[in-house]
Amino acid sequence: MRETERTSTTLTTEATPSLDRVFDLLSDRRRRYVLYYLNDRDDGVATIGEITNHILSLERRESGSTIGSGTEVDAGSDSETGSDIDAGTDSAERIRTELCHVHLPKLEEVGVVEHDQRSETVRYWTQPSLEEWLEHAEHKEL
Q: Which CATH class is domain 18-141?
A: mainly alpha
The whole-chain average pLDDT of the chain stands at 80
Alpha carbon of 55 to those of 7, 13, 21, 72, 111: distances in Å?
37, 30, 22, 19, 21
pTM metric for this prediction: 0.74
Q: Is the pLDDT of residue 140 over 80?
A: yes
Confidence of residue 7 (pLDDT cuts 50, 70, 90): very low
3-state SS track over 41-57: CCCCEEEHHHHHHHHHH
> What are 41-79's pLDDT values in tens digits?
999 999 999 999 999 999 999 888 443 333 332 333 333
> What are 105-128's pLDDT values in tens digits?
999 999 999 999 999 999 999 999
Q: Identify whether the C-beta of residue 28 lies closer than 8 Å to the C-beta of residue 98.
A: no
101/12 Cα distance (integer angstroms):
26
